[in-house]
Amino acid sequence: MITRFITITLIALIISFSAVAVEPNEVLKDKSLENRARNLSKGLRCLVCQNQSIDDSNADLARDLRVILRERLKAGDSDKEVIGFIVARYGEFVLLDPPVNPRTALLWGGPGLIIIISGISLALWFRRRNTTIAEELSKIEKESLVSLLEDTPDRRGPEK
């Protein structure tokens, strides 16, 4: 999992690779608190490893953040307060689940918009096809009717 840090060498940052993510001694005794901590840390991005949550990361900073997060929880912070604490220091970049705000309006609205647009264009396409098809069909039918009538002159048809 060290691979996620390859990029880091680009900016010559030094990270200790020593630990595996979530050390036994970090785990809180209180099960529900620990569950909250795990869930929260899964949504926080490890800054030095790109696209990895601090829960998955063995970076030093990720561990420090996990520890701080648990300390805040033990001190009685709500989930929101803990997230706020980290965002105040590191910005919204740490949130793997981007919050809905004007900056992300197109991101969160995008999928819905794409579905609506493609749905409407599909419906329009079907309708247009059906009308042109109906026109063409009626034209073909007329022609065949005429030829039918011509072939069987002894029968009387509704049209000439």
Partner 1 sequence: MKGNFRLTYFIPVIIILTILAIFWSYLSKIKDGKSIQDLPSALINKPTPVFKLPGISVGDKGFDSRELTGKVTLVNIWASWCPPCHVEHPRHMQLASEGIPIYGINYKDKPEAAKNFLNNLGNPYRAIGADRTGKVAIDWGVYGYPETFVVDAKGQIRYRHVGPIMEDDLTNKIRPLIKALKTK
Partner 2 sequence: MTAEIGHFSLILALVLSIFQGTIPLAGAALNRNQWVAVARPAARGQFLFVTIAFLSLIYAFLTSDFSVANVAQNSHTLKPILYKFAGVWGNHEGSMVLWVFILALFGLAVAEFGNGLPPTLHARVLAIQGLIGFAFLAFILFTSNPFLRLDPPPMEGNGLNPVLQDPGLAFHPPFLYLGYVGFSIAFSFAVAALIEGRVDPAWARWVRPWTLAAWCALTVGIALGSWWAYYELGWGGWWFWDPVENASFIPWLVGTALLHSSIVVEKRDALKSWTILLAILTFSMSLLGTFLVRSGILTSVHTFASDPERGVFILGLLVFVVGGSLTLYAIRAPMLKGGGLFAPISREGALVLNNLLLTTGAAVVLLGTLYPLILDAVGGGKISVGPPFFNATFVPLMVPVMLAPVVGAMLHWKRGDIGSVLGRLKIALSIALIGIVATGYFAENIKDLLAAGGIGIGVWLIFGSTVEISERISLFRGTFSNSLRRFARLPRSQLGMAIAHGALGIMVLGITASSAWRVENIQLMAPGDIASVSGYSLKFDGTKKIIGPNYQGERGTFIITKDGKKIGTLNPEKRRYPSANSETTEAGILTTISGDLYAVLGDERKNSAQGGSSWTARIYFNPLVAWIWIGAILMAAGGIISLTDRRHRIGPPKTARSPNKNNNKISSI
- Kindly list the residues in this chain that would bind partner 2 in the complex (CB under 8 A): 1-4, 6-7, 10, 17-25, 27, 43, 45, 50-53, 56, 91-98, 103-104, 106-108, 110-111, 114-115, 118-119, 122, 126, 129, 133
Interface residue with partner 1 among 2, 23, 91, 120 (CB under 8 A) is: 91
CB closer to partner 2, 43 vs 149: 43
Site for partner 1 in 112-151 (CB under 8 A): none
Nearest-approach distance from CB 79 to partner 2, in angstroms: 14
Alpha-carbon span 42 to 53, nearest angstrom: 5
End-to-end CA distance of the chain: 83
Apex CA 33: angle with CA 42 and CA 23, to 5°?
Answer: 60
CB closer to partner 2, 56 vs 77: 56
Interface residue with partner 1 among 8, 19, 27, 149 (CB under 8 A) is: 8
Alpha-carbon span 122 to 125, nearest angstrom: 5
At 156, list the tokens: 């009387």
- Residue whose entry in the numeric block shows the structure tokens 């109906």: 134
User: 3-class DSSP state for residue 105?
Assistant: helix
- The answer to whether 15 touches 57, Cβ cutoff 8 Å, is no
- Contacting positions for partner 1 (CB under 8 A): 7-8, 10-14, 47-48, 60-61, 64-65, 68, 87-91, 93
